Structure 1
Amino acid sequence: MTRPEDKKDSSRQPSSADQYLIKDPELFARNLARMIENAGKAASAWVTPRERGEVRDSMAEPMADMVKTFSKVSEYWLSDPSRALEAQTKLFSSYMTIWANAVRKLSGEEVPSPAEPEKGDKRFQDPDWSTHAFFDFLKQVYIVTTRWANDLVQNAEGLDEHTRHKANFYVRQVSQAISPSNFILTNPELFRETVSSHGENLVKGMQMLAEDIAAGKGELKLRQADYTKFAVGKNIATTPGKVIARSDLAEIIQYDPTTKKVLKRPLLICPPWINKYYILDLNPQKSFIAWAVEQGHTVFVISWVNPDERHGFKDWEAYIDEGLNFALETIEKATGEREVNAIGYCVGGTLLAAALALMAKEGDDRIRSATFFTTQVDFTHAGDLKVFVDEEQVAAVERAMKEKGYLDGTRMATAFNMLRAGDLIWPYVVSNYMRGKDPMPFDLLYWNADSTRMAAANHSFYLRNCYMNNALSQGTMMLAGKKVALHDITIPVFNLAAREDHIAPARSVFAGCSFFGGDVEYVMAGSGHIAGVVNPPAMKKYQYWTGGKPGGDFDGWVATAKENPGSWWPYWQEWIAKQDDTRVPARKPGARGMPVLAEAPGTYVAVRV
């Protein structure tokens, strides 16, 4: 703990040397010993499952792919000695400029910085990154080096698009990992906190690291929030409803009405099976499900099973049959209505689109309108997730899944976190394990950590048919022995993208619009994959763009689109009402002889990895 005599004199400059001097060497040494003890516990939590054969390291193949990718970049630069010398000279010259400026700065001169962080970079906000010569030097060397590495990738000729994409991604990952902001001795704020707390932060940080490795059963399960403050069904996913049907893959939830009259057409929501459906029902203030009920929808939701070895053979046909078709049959029994409006979110939307194409082939017209939330049906511009998808990497994933019949949820969670490592990995590594700070409660990050496994056959079909072969938009996907095509889908489509989406980029969603055979309403929401969708009108946040038919060039559409303030939800409700606004008396779960198997949110959603 900081003693009164250790308190900083407010008149001192932030970069004064005494902030970095240990005041109580004996106490600091004791805390270092405690830190080492906790580090030993962390090492034991890591090693023990491997000695027992319970965990097999999953990083070897990604690391090998990264090395191979960088080797292809190196081939271009090393194939010509003059080219390599030029690149090395450019970096060395930048280092010499930084060194010369540092010397001049130490002598009291005002020297302009040759390298500053990008606007919005939160890592270097502490004043000592600029005022302290040592930390300023580290910052500039880091920035110059990482920009030089990016230039090597961008200027390497002869690389195919996929290799360049992977190289850019891996450079970004390495750059974020080696940032001086991530280490005690090279981060002024961390250094000062360590000195002022006499190393207590390191003791707590190593304790948290050991706990998180133990929680991950030998893998680091990075905590991003205080999860103890949330419980599904208690203060998460609380909209009243009933589970009225259950298959091996899905529970079908019907929600209690809150209006006397409801739309004649029920609303079926098909969420992704990567993570859980309650992202649309986080709490009463953020719940799209509760809001839709308030607008007069009879809402049904598919809650997917968290698969285990029993579900390894369940492919997309099974998910369509035991999920979507099962839900449609349940809705007809529960309401007497054959026609429905359907929503698909992310990969749940991709499944819905594939199912609609199959249903069109089979003459099944039960779904009369389709809404897609941040859904890709064409994967040409699929973003950074394509980095993980080529023949070698998919084959490696398939080998890993073959052993258990599923892919561990932590693998997918790590991949998604890597897409935004600067926001979702390194800030928590620094805060948790170096500063020893407990994360704050945050319902969205609780949901993000509630990862799900991937059934082997299902996940393999998705990777190969969508990301690798782009079979759905190309009309070559085979389902139930039929070749399905999106142009057979002629029902009205509402296609929602999110401007900052890193999973289903807005450009990719826009490109997918052209493959449908009917009218498509394309809307682009502000923010990203989650916040762009979960944006209740009452919050008055963000905006959305509308611009008529989604034809031609994406940038051209954006340039002429109308920006509207707030949530897109009411706009969607108007669109739905235009399809069919007929109202009927409200329907309650359990009517028409339907069983009530459980209270919402059901049992499948409670199964954790």
Structure 2
Amino acid sequence: MDATTGPVLSPAPATPPASADEGYPFDTIDRALRAATARLTGGLSPFALYTAWQDWAVHFASAPGRQLALAFDAADSIQAYARFATAAMSSTVTGEMATPPVAPSRNDHRFDDPAWAGLPYVLWQQAFLAQEQWWERATQPVRGVAKINADRAAFVARQLLDAASPSNLPWLNPTVVRRTLEEGGANLARGLANAADDAAAALAKAERPTSLAFEVGVNVAATPGTVIYRNELMELIQYTPATPSVLAEPVLIVPAWIMKFYILDLSPANSLIRWLVGQGHTVFAISWRNPTDADRDVEFDAYRTRGILAALDAVGAVVPDRKIHACGYCLGGTQLAIAAAKMARDGDERLASVTLLAAQTDFSEAGELMLFVDENQIAFLEDLMWDQGVLESGQMSGAFQLLRSNDLVWSRMVKSYLLGERDVESDLAAWNADATRMPYRMHAQYLRRLFLENRLTAGRYVLDGRPVALKDIRVPLFVVGTETDHIAPWRSVYKLHLFTESELTFVLTSGGHNAGIVSEPGHRGRRHRIATAKGDDAYVDPDSWLATAPATAGSWWPAWSGWLAARSAADRVAPPPVGAPSEGLVPLGPAPGAYVKG
């Protein structure tokens, strides 16, 4: 094996991949037009949204019973609001405020300021919440409407309502009014400067740094280690041991290439990698190269062969005659599951265990991201990537932000542009701003084969001419889901129970897709649930599992470290050497390497 700098991946051929309209004259004109449209819409297909509204509207128009029920709902809501408004106005005399008829949802923080409970702000708040509640009922599925279209109609209604919230208007938001009076308008001046900075960055197609206080390799991604292998797709980092002896079996971490790897190596206090090394584990981690348009034809399977398998070869050379604990996060976990299934099918027994962090293997219930997954939407996105060669980070993050537009769009705009405040500097925010791109062919294959066609759990995911099956995996599995994950919903992650006969330890931790994984010991408010299912145990559905698995305060990290130790050799050994010179694995530079800075 050679630890090489690796060539840049070869440019794309002139011919695009097969598509439904390939072969027709002037097809390139159509694709270029759709790509230009996609740039204006952030990658969202207006045709898919129009189809959804048309489906819902036609069925709603032919449902007089539903219309009548909603008319009664509207009348009841208006009457309740009128009664409340009358009582609220009377409170100026009586001094007792009536109870508002509509309460914000538990996760809605737009109206947290106590001033929203007073006049006149409570009247605007209640009028808005009543409309929001009515539209939520109005966009419930009508009999005969395709579920995805009903969901999209509700999504569009929610986006329009979120934009019209009184919390977004400076003269209706009591927090903004109070701050403006206190500062004599200085907050608005700062907000205008913030908006100008963001607009300039957007025009220059540059990311505004979320934080200037965190530097890769200095105070994030700073765990000591050495790059021992590099190819055109990834670098492999071997971390420096922190204990005199180590567990015999090493750990290989496979992050998602949709993110920089150091989400698992943030500040020293909350770095999972640093913590693992401190527990006596020999840790290796993949750092993916950030692709450019020259890498447009990198295939999804390359991340298995040139990524995971190449890393396993290198780890095996450094720590020979030992099995490897493999851990995959998000998309890296999905690819690791595929790799493990093929290895099991082909008799490759190098794995000691598989850990999947917020990683889906079945995509039939992939949560709100499915709003953006159907033939129409994927074809639209493919044309955008075909034109650019990659999916740009901003285009990718736009969909995630829309799923939580209250928190990730409008609330941030109010804070930055009306209150004149930037987000508090944090390592997680700095990492989130350090975005990556996705190669055209890889992302198209991923969306079609997994999200759209769900081939892996349907027995139709083919490698080397034969399908792979998750049930072939025989090593122990440790699977982590997070309670509020909108990218990999925990019930979707939990479905792996249906597709394996291995021992499976499932953990449900508080937090979301990132914060739930970055859950270091001592982190305030963290909790987790854990239970193990043997291969021959009867299936327990997720809601029953939730009802019976007790909640434990604290981080899940110690449980995982103990789980790994229990599935390793009993005796500790001396730390392995750095690299394997006889196998061509020599130090190529200190961690975190070169690719993470690209």
Q: Label 1:256 to 1:103 Cα distance change in 2 as closer, same or farther (>3 A).
A: same
Q: Residue type matched to 1:288 in 2?
A: L
- Alignment match, 1:576: 564
Q: Does 1:151 find its partner at 2:137?
A: yes
Q: CA deviation at 1:590?
A: 4.0
Q: CA deviation at 1:352?
A: 0.3
Q: Does 1:66 find its partner at 2:49?
A: yes
Of residues 576, 581, 592 in structure 2, which corresponds to 1:587?
576
Q: Label 1:396 to 1:54 Cα distance change in 2 as closer, same or farther (>3 A).
A: closer
Q: Label 1:247 to 1:533 Cα distance change in 2 as closer, same or farther (>3 A).
A: same
Q: Residue type matched to 2:138 in 1?
A: L
Q: Does 1:207 find its partner at 2:193?
A: yes
**8 Å CA contact retained: 2:45, 2:376:** no
SS in 2 for 1:204: helix
Kindly report the root-mean-square deviation, in angstroms, between the aligned alpha carbons of the 2 structures.
2.4
- State the distance in 2 between where 1:294 and 1:80 align: 63
- Alignment match, 2:146: 160
Q: What are the within-5 Å matches in structure 2 for residues 21-60 of structure 1?
A: 56-59=39-42
- State the distance in 2 between where 1:526 and 1:80 align: 42
Q: CA deviation at 1:85?
A: 5.2
Q: Does 1:116 find its partner at 2:103?
A: yes
Q: CA deviation at 1:318?
A: 1.0
Q: Label 1:155 to 1:141 Cα distance change in 2 as closer, same or farther (>3 A).
A: farther
Of residues 245, 270, 281 in structure 2, which corresponds to 1:261?
245
The TM-score with structure 2 as length reference comes to 0.87
**8 Å CA contact retained: 2:38, 2:380:** no
- Alignment match, 1:35: none
- Alignment match, 1:346: 330
**8 Å CA contact retained: 1:265, 1:337:** no
Q: Label 1:298 to 1:104 Cα distance change in 2 as closer, same or farther (>3 A).
A: closer
Q: CA deviation at 1:338?
A: 5.3
Q: Does 1:436 find its partner at 2:420?
A: yes
Q: What are the within-5 Å matches in structure 2 for residues 142-541 of structure 1?
A: 142-154=128-140, 156-217=142-203, 226-337=210-321, 339-539=323-523, 541=525
Q: Residue type matched to 1:489 in 2?
A: I
**8 Å CA contact retained: 2:44, 2:381:** no
- 1:425-472 Cα offsets, whole Å, 9 max, x none, are 222110101111122111111111211101111111111111111111
Q: Label 1:475 to 1:208 Cα distance change in 2 as closer, same or farther (>3 A).
A: same
**8 Å CA contact retained: 1:268, 1:342:** yes
**8 Å CA contact retained: 2:47, 2:376:** no
- 1:515-562 Cα offsets, whole Å, 9 max, x none, are 123221112122222222111223364122123318221111111113
Q: Residue type matched to 1:379 in 2?
A: F
Give unpaired runs (5+ residues) of structure 2. Answer: 1-35
- Alignment match, 2:81: 98
Q: Does 1:139 find its partner at 2:125?
A: yes
Q: Label 1:295 to 1:208 Cα distance change in 2 as closer, same or farther (>3 A).
A: same
Q: CA deviation at 1:67?
A: 3.9
Q: CA deviation at 1:253?
A: 0.5
SS in 1 for 2:425: coil
Q: CA deviation at 1:215?
A: 1.9
Question: What count of residue pairs does the alignment treat as equivalent?
Answer: 552
Give unpaired runs (5+ residues) of structure 1. Answer: 1-52
Moved more, 264-273 or 335-344: 335-344
**8 Å CA contact retained: 2:356, 2:478:** yes
- 1:90-127 Cα offsets, whole Å, 9 max, x none, are 32552354245424533446544222323453211333
Q: Does 1:555 find its partner at 2:532?
A: no
**8 Å CA contact retained: 2:38, 2:45:** no
Q: CA deviation at 1:387?
A: 0.8
Of residues 544, 567, 571 in structure 1, which corresponds to 2:555?
567
Q: Residue type matched to 1:576 in 2?
A: L
- State the distance in 1 between where 2:435 and 2:220 align: 15
SS in 2 for 1:570: helix
- Alignment match, 1:599: 590
SS in 2 for 1:211: helix
**8 Å CA contact retained: 1:304, 1:604:** yes
- 1:172-220 Cα offsets, whole Å, 9 max, x none, are 3333222110111221221233344343322221221121132234669
Moved more, 340-349 or 532-541: 532-541
- Alignment match, 1:77: 60
**8 Å CA contact retained: 1:213, 1:219:** no
Q: Label 1:532 to 1:56 Cα distance change in 2 as closer, same or farther (>3 A).
A: closer
Identity, % of aligned positions:
37
- State the distance in 1 between where 2:242 and 2:522 align: 18
**8 Å CA contact retained: 2:250, 2:282:** yes
- State the distance in 2 between where 1:562 and 1:82 align: 45
**8 Å CA contact retained: 1:383, 1:505:** yes
**8 Å CA contact retained: 1:371, 1:494:** yes
- State the distance in 2 between where 1:567 and 1:290 align: 15
**8 Å CA contact retained: 1:495, 1:513:** no
SS in 2 for 1:57: helix
Q: Label 1:155 to 1:463 Cα distance change in 2 as closer, same or farther (>3 A).
A: closer
Which of the pair has the greater relative contact order for Cα pairs under 8 Å at 6+ separation?
2
- State the distance in 2 between where 1:58 and 1:482 align: 39
SS in 1 for 2:562: helix
- 1:547-592 Cα offsets, whole Å, 9 max, x none, are 3318221111111113222112121122212222242211242454
